[in-house]
Structure 1
Amino acid sequence: MFTVPVLDVKSDPLDVLLTAIGYRLSMLADSDSDSEEFESLLADRKVIIEFASKEADIARYFSFDNGDFTQHSGHADNADLTISFKDSITGVKLLTKGSLPAFMTAVQEGNLSIEGDYSLMMWFNKLAKHIVPTIPEELKPYITRAKPYAYKAQQFAGHWIGVAKHKLGK
C-alpha cells in the first residue's frame, strides 16, 4: 500500500472512501448550503468521529466544530465516537450501504466495534444523507435516456482497453 502525499490518503479502499466523504462534507460545510437541515446539524456541535480498520491499520477522523469541518489521517487523540471495522472491505460495504440497521447487525456479528457516544451514530447518519447530492426531478428523464449510451460507451471503452493491453503485452 502506498500513500498519495498531496492528499494524505492511502491506496486502501476504506481510506479512499473516507477521504472522499470528508471532501464532500468539507464542500457542504464551506458552501452557502441551501439546506437549513444540514446547517442545523452542524450548528452547536463540537464532535470528533474516527473511522478505522483493525486489519489494515487505517484510521481517519472527522472533526466538527460549530459549523466548521476538517478531516485528518490517523487516529484521533480524543474521539467522541470511534467506529472500527474488521477490515477495509467491510467498512466500505457498510458505509456505502448507509444503513444504520446494517451497522447494528455488523456489531452483533463482530465485524464492527463502536466506542463512545452511540447517539452520534444517529447524528452522523442524518448528516450522511446530505453527502450524495439528489438529482432534481426535471433532470431524471435525461439521465434515464442517457444510461443506455453510457453503457454502450463503457462496453466500447472496455473492448479497446483490452485490445490496447493485448497489443502492449500487459
Structure 2
Amino acid sequence: MKFQLLLWALALLMKKAARKNPDFTKQLEGKNFAFQLQTEDGKVTRHFVIANNSIRSKGKAHKDPAFTISFTDAATGLRILTSKDKNAFMKGIQDKDIKISGDLSKVMWFQSISKYLKPRKKK
C-alpha cells in the first residue's frame, strides 16, 4: 500500500513540477511517450504519459510503455525509491531487485529528472 501511495505521490510531484518549474518543463519539451513503474508480479502498477509538456498518470498498466521499471516487490520499490543513498537505484539493478525493459535512453532521462521531484528545503 505504501509503494502504491508513493507512486501516486510521484505523479502529483511530476504534475506540479510540469506546471511550476520552468527547468522541469524544459525536460518535457519534445517528449511524447509513456513509462511505468511496477512490482514484478504487476500487482502494483502506475503508468505515466509525457505529452504536450505535461504529465498524466493512471494506476494501471499501459498498453505500450517506452520503458518499464519493475521492482521485485512493493517493499523493495519503496526502499529503493525513498533511499537517501544516491547509488540505491544502481545497487538495486546490480542486486537484481530492479529489472528494466525498453528504451534505456528514456530510463536515463527519467533518472535525470528525479532531482526536480525532491521536496525543497525550507529556508
TM-score normalised by the chain length of structure 2: 0.88
* Unaligned 5+ runs, structure 1: 1-11, 140-170
- Give the secondary-structure state (helix, strand or coil) at the position aligned to 1:135: coil
Spell out, residue by residue over 1:15-43, the C-alpha distance to the aligned partner (whole angstroms, 9 max, x if none).
10000010111112133x3x3x2121011
Distance 1:100 1:61 in 2: 24
Contact 2:33 2:50 in 1 (8 A): yes
The partner residue of 2:46 within 40, 46, 60 is 60
Superposed, 1:11-26 pairs within 5 Å as: 12-26=1-15
Q: Pick closer, same or farther for the CA change 1:63–1:99 going to 2, 3 Å.
A: farther
* Unaligned 5+ runs, structure 2: none
The corresponding residue for 2:100 is: 114
Superposed, 1:37-52 pairs within 5 Å as: 37-52=23-38
- Give the secondary-structure state (helix, strand or coil) at the position aligned to 2:14: helix
Higher helix share: 1
Superposed, 1:76-155 pairs within 5 Å as: 76-97=62-83, 101-135=87-121, 139=123
Kindly indicate whether structure 1 or structure 2 has the higher relative contact order, using CA contacts under 8 Å at least 6 residues apart. 2
TM-score normalised by the chain length of structure 1: 0.66
Spell out, residue by residue over 1:105-159, the C-alpha distance to the aligned partner (whole angstroms, 9 max, x if none).
22222211100011222211221111123235xx2xxxxxxxxxxxxxxxxxxxx
Q: Pick closer, same or farther for the CA change 1:26–1:53 going to 2, 3 Å.
A: same
> Rg bigger for which structure?
1
Distance 2:121 2:94 in 1: 35
Distance 2:115 2:36 in 1: 18
Please report the RMSD computed on the Cα atoms of aligned residues, expressed in angstroms. Answer: 1.9
Structure 1 stretches of at least 4 aligned residues deviating more than 3 Å after TM superposition: 98-101
The size of the alignment, in residue pairs, is: 123
Superposed, 1:1-12 pairs within 5 Å as: 12=1
- Give the secondary-structure state (helix, strand or coil) at the position aligned to 1:79: coil
The corresponding residue for 1:69 is: 55
